[in-house]
Chains A and B, each alone.
Chain A
């Protein structure tokens, strides 16, 4: 994962609450088996609306999204984070995030910073009054600045550290492989195993046919 320290880029005001992951990337785009190439799918339903913020020239190259509360609710699809990153976003700021989305962001190097709603309103005003304004996000200081306004954001210490160091979670965990093995030795025998597989006898499943 690429290290993140500071980033400066065009801020995009998204004045909507409850932007769920179906809005960020509709399910029809989830059929791909790759981890990249999702930029066209970002906000797919809204992108056809000329009035949508990303369709306005000043915001098209945006990389800091300033969104309403409860961003990233719903489905656990990490594709939402991939789509934001593939489009070019490095940071999302909102007053509340869904837990799974926030976790997925941290794994993929997208900064999800929690900003007080009154500060979000402040940023929205700047970005709307002066489209194309750049926002500077300083992860070490946990601040976001636009013009003469600087607001602070929250991100948990561990995620911040991993983002700043660009560390891979699996590698970190495997440093404790001995402890995992020791834990497995204590596992009670009633706890289930999927293998060897047990099922009822095989039964033919009749295929439903289209209505005539």
Chain B
């Protein structure tokens, strides 16, 4: 029978098929762990006297709580320090591998899996973090889980899961200059809504998706959860295989060949039927920004703040009124005239090396607007090292930005990187919820290119607002590729 990509991966992990309305039991290939959603799960194991069933399919890192300054000093916030110490103690007690602050592979969990070559096509990947959908960019079935489920996976390496529906999202054509994969996903969420994906696994398809780099695909899948979806996936292809080959945990030799042969079968069959299909034309897109307090409240940057009185649906009108009031905007105000106080460049959505390169290309040789503070936070320590090897850190510092250590940082403001009440940010992260980046803070979600242009002009801007030379190609990244990995220099720790 013809199947979709998601159904194929699901079926390959069936430990047992549910009967009489009970869910299927699925095997989990890779469990990523961080400090915030795991302490109560390990405590549950301890109380029940259960071990971690497969420490060799589990990996932990510290990201949500970690400071991005003074990482060699004791963590100043005592509750944060306790939570991180708890993770370290749990990792030691249960035999789980951990990459701690100061380690080159410390960083946001959704960057650490891919950079180590642990994230691969055809896997099931879970983490107690909703942005686990990121790993779907490799053709893995990857989703966020709650702490009870974290404990369940630690104890059994499986999860009971209810069946999902499938949605094909076709993005055809080519992106215009200045638009990025971030704008694709923001446009998709604006189109289908924050609840549009509920119960679905999304599969992103079409020419505009196929031509994206691996990291750009990760940005798209990352925000699947913002459309309410259980997961987002992209069928693996040569772009995927090239990204993976030679990474520390990528298969080698005959295993590599067998893996690639299997991975090439991981695509939706031509006659597969999706429960729902949605189509977008990439050529219609322009840089997107959010104006409201959920990621579906976004518009092209050339638009104006909506006028609630013109919204027919009552629930949407009330939500828009509330959002506009919270955001301190005026209905009808051009988005390009909205001044910002802070620009945050980072997160599991847009804190990767390609994002940093594209920002550097825009800001090189320029000065940030005086009124704006600019934070650049790489997704992982490895990304930071790579950026420094390419001299990007120097470009950022000369621009007037702060060059920080790796972590989730201001995306959710669990560490000291927060917005003050009323402070307005253009942020390359994924959520513009009320108070997400700090109590009373106001967030506009943007692409790295819009963030860079906004940091220069001080108001929401796209690169077309800048006086860039005509020959600057912002869609191709000519920085030195990630240092080629020689398996001979790998160390086992």
Q: Is B454 an interface residue (CB 8 A)?
A: no
Q: Hey, which chain B residues are within 8 Å of A158, CB to CB?
A: 18, 21-23, 162
- 6 closest cross-chain pairs (CB), A and B: A107-B148, A104-B146, A78-B146, A190-B259, A33-B39, A76-B144
Q: Is A85 an interface residue (CB 8 A)?
A: no
Q: Hey, which chain B residues are within 8 Å of A45, CB to CB?
A: 434-435, 439-440
Q: Hey, which chain A residues are within 8 Å of B490, CB to CB?
A: 198-200
Expressed in whole angstroms, the minimum distance between the Cβ of B87 and any Cβ of chain A is 9
Interface size class on chain A is 35 or more
Q: Hey, which chain A residues are within 8 Å of B152, CB to CB?
A: 169-170, 173
Q: Is A141 an interface residue (CB 8 A)?
A: no
List 10 A–B pairs whose Cβ atoms lie within 8 Å, in order of A's numbering. Answer: A18-B294, A45-B435, A76-B130, A169-B160, A184-B27, A187-B27, A188-B259, A194-B97, A195-B97, A209-B69
Q: Hey, which chain B residues are within 8 Å of A22, CB to CB?
A: 412, 431, 433-436
Expressed in whole angstroms, the minimum distance between the Cβ of A113 and any Cβ of chain B is 16
Q: Is B395 an interface residue (CB 8 A)?
A: no
Q: Is A207 an interface residue (CB 8 A)?
A: yes
Q: Hey, which chain A residues are within 8 Å of B147, CB to CB?
A: 35, 78-79, 104
Contacts known (A70-B228, A76-B130, A208-B405); A169 close to B79, Cβ less than 8 A? no
Q: Is B137 an interface residue (CB 8 A)?
A: no
Q: Say which one of A4-12, A56-64, A92-100, A145-153 lies at the interface with B.
A: A92-100
Q: Is A122 an interface residue (CB 8 A)?
A: no
B256 and A190: CB pair below 8 A? yes
B117 CB contact (under 8 Å) in A169, A192, A202: A192
B146 CB contact (under 8 Å) in A15, A81, A183: A81
Contacts known (A31-B79, A76-B146, A210-B69); A180 close to B157, Cβ less than 8 A? yes
Q: Say which one of B29-37, B206-214, B265-273, B362-370 lies at the interface with A.
A: B29-37
Q: Is B40 an interface residue (CB 8 A)?
A: yes
Q: Hey, which chain B residues are within 8 Å of A196, CB to CB?
A: 492
B71 CB contact (under 8 Å) in A32, A77, A205, A211: A205
Expressed in whole angstroms, the minimum distance between the Cβ of A72 and any Cβ of chain B is 10
**Digit string of B146-171 for contact with A (CB within 8 Å is 1, else 0)?**
11110110011110101000000000
B294 and A77: CB pair below 8 A? no
A197 and B493: CB pair below 8 A? yes
Cα A194 to Cα B86 with chains together (Å): 21
Q: Hey, which chain A residues are within 8 Å of B195, CB to CB?
A: 69-70, 73, 96, 98
Q: Hey, which chain B residues are within 8 Å of A69, CB to CB?
A: 195, 315
Q: Hey, which chain B residues are within 8 Å of A201, CB to CB?
A: 489, 491
A192 and B402: CB pair below 8 A? no
Q: Is A68 an interface residue (CB 8 A)?
A: yes
Q: Hey, which chain A residues are within 8 Å of B478, CB to CB?
A: none
Chain B: interface residue total (CB-CB under 8 A): 111
Our count of residue pairs bridging A and B at CB distance below 8 angstroms stands at 265
Expressed in whole angstroms, the minimum distance between the Cβ of A98 and any Cβ of chain B is 6
Q: Is B251 an interface residue (CB 8 A)?
A: yes
Expressed in whole angstroms, the minimum distance between the Cβ of B47 and any Cβ of chain A is 10
A26 CB contact (under 8 Å) in B65, B155, B225, B439: B439
Q: Is A34 an interface residue (CB 8 A)?
A: yes
Q: Hey, which chain A residues are within 8 Å of B148, CB to CB?
A: 78, 104, 107-108, 169
A99 and B199: CB pair below 8 A? yes
Q: Is B345 an interface residue (CB 8 A)?
A: no
Q: Is B255 an interface residue (CB 8 A)?
A: yes
Contacts known (A76-B144, A76-B145); A192 close to B29, Cβ less than 8 A? yes
Cα A94 to Cα B40 with chains together (Å): 28
Contacts known (A180-B156, A180-B158); A209 close to B434, Cβ less than 8 A? no
**Digit string of B428-461 for contact with A (CB within 8 Å is 1, else 0)?**
0001011110011000000000000000000000
**Digit string of B296-320 for contact with A (CB within 8 Å is 1, else 0)?**
0000000000000000000100110
Q: A22-B435, A176-B15 are in contact. List 11 more A-B contacts (CB 8 A).
A: A16-B319, A22-B412, A31-B36, A100-B146, A189-B258, A190-B256, A192-B29, A194-B57, A194-B97, A196-B492, A200-B491
A96 and B198: CB pair below 8 A? yes
Q: Hey, which chain B residues are within 8 Å of A131, CB to CB?
A: none
B198 CB contact (under 8 Å) in A35, A78, A99: A99
A107 and B256: CB pair below 8 A? no
